[in-house]
Amino acid sequence: MIGCMHLSVCLSVCMRAFQLPEQGKKKARPAAGARNRQPEKLHGDGLWEAEETRDCDQEEILVLTDNEWMHYAAAAAAQCQSSDLKAAYRKVDRPAMEAWYMDDSDEDQRLPHHLDPPQYVSHEALAKLGVLHWVLDAVIYEDDPELEKIRADRGYSYKDIITVSPDKLPNYEHKIRNFFEEHIHLDEEIRYCLEGSGYFDVRDAQDRWIRIWVKKGDMIVLPAGSYHRFTLDANNYIKAMRLFVGEPLWTPYNRPQDDHQTRKDYVNHFLQGQQDAVIAH
C-alpha cells in the first residue's frame, strides 16, 4: 500500500568543529569503496544514510535516526567554515507496520487475506489489545543501544535467533502447522525480525482475526494470554530474534483456554472494556 520514497539532499559541511551525537557515533560504520561514491540505499529501512568524504581520501557511512539526523544537519550547517567535507544524505522512508482484518477464506495461509475492500487496523488499536511495536535498525542488531535499552527496561535477559524457512528449519512442515494453530502463552511472545517477513495473527475484542505483517526491523510483543498464531508470507523466509524474561518457555496452550487464569487476566486487562462498549452500543 505504501511504497518506499527516496529523498536526497546534498550539503557541503565542515565537520571538524562538530561532533556526532553519542548515539550516532555508536551507529557509525566504515564503508569501503572508491572516492566520491554515490550513496547507496541503506539496508536498514527508516534511517538516514550519510556518506562523507574528507579531503577525498576517507569515506564513512553514518547510520542515523530521524532525530539524530536533524541534530547532525543543523549543527553541521551552523558550524560550517569550509567545504572540504561533502556529505550526501538519503532518507529511506520505511512503510509503517501494516495490520488489517482478515477474510474467512481457506486459501493458502501465506496470502494476505484482506477483506474486500481492505480494512486496516491502526497501531493505536493494536496497543489497546496489548500489542507493542518498535522499529529498529536490524543491520546493527548485534550492537544496537536502542535494542539493549528495551531489553534492560523490560527484563529480556534471554535471546536467541531462529530462522523459519522450508530449507532452514528442521521438521519444517510439522512446526509451521503448530505455529499456525491458535494458542496462548503464559508469557509475552517477543519477536524481532532481522531478515525476511511473516504474519502474526491476533484476535480482537470481538474475536475477529487481525493480521500483522512484520518485516525487517519490526520488533513486536504479544501479551501473555492473547490468542494468536504465526505463519510465513509468500516469501517463505524469516530470521528473527526471540527474547524472553528469564529461562524461555515456548509451550503453546491451544484454544480453548478461556478458563486459564492467564487468559482471564488478559481479557480483564485488555478486552473487557472493549467488549462491554460493543454490548452497550
d(CA 232, CA 110): 6
| Residue 42 pLDDT > 90 | no
Q: What region, left, alpha or beta, does residue 140 occupy, with left being phi > 0 and alpha being psi -120 to 50 degrees?
A: alpha
- Give ranges for CATH 2.60.120.10 in the chain: 98-280
d(CA 31, CA 28): 10
Which tops the pLDDT comparison, 17 or 99? Answer: 99
Specify the pLDDT at position 216.
Answer: 95
**In which band, very low, low, confident or very high, does the pLDDT at 278 lie, cut at 50, 70 and 90?**
low
The residue behind cell 553514518 is 62
In this structure, are residues 231 and 109 in contact, taking their beta carbons and an 8 Å threshold? yes
Instruction: Give the residue among 240, 256, 262, 219 at the shortest CA–CA distance from 46.
Output: 219
* pLDDT over 90 percentage in the chain: 62
Residue 243: CB atoms within 10 A of its CB come to: 23
Tell me the pLDDT tens digit for each residue of 132-179. 999 999 999 999 999 999 999 999 999 999 999 999 999 999 999 999
Instruction: Compute the average pLDDT of residues 34-62.
Output: 37
Specify the pLDDT at position 14.
Answer: 34
CA of 121: how far to CAs of 115, 124, 177, 204, 233, in Å?
12, 8, 26, 10, 19
Q: What is the mean pLDDT of the chain?
A: 76
DSSP-derived secondary structure letter, 49? E
d(CA 74, CA 66): 12
Specify the pLDDT at position 241.
Answer: 98
| Residue 131 pLDDT > 80 | yes
- Does this model's pTM top 0.75? no
| Residue 75 pLDDT > 70 | no
Specify the pLDDT at position 33.
Answer: 36
| Residue 53 pLDDT > 70 | no
H-assigned helices in the chain: 22-27, 66-79, 123-128, 145-154, 172-179, 261-266, 272-280
CATH of 98-280, one of 2.60.120.10, 3.50.50.60, 2.60.40.1180, 1.10.10.10: 2.60.120.10
**In which band, very low, low, confident or very high, does the pLDDT at 281 lie, cut at 50, 70 and 90?**
very low
| Residue 13 pLDDT > 80 | no
Q: Is 85 exposed, middle or buried (0-12, 13-18, 19+ CB in 10 A)?
A: buried
Residue 224: CB atoms within 10 A of its CB come to: 16
Q: Name residues whose C-beta falls within 8 Å of residue 32's C-beta, 6 or more positions apart in sequence.
A: 59
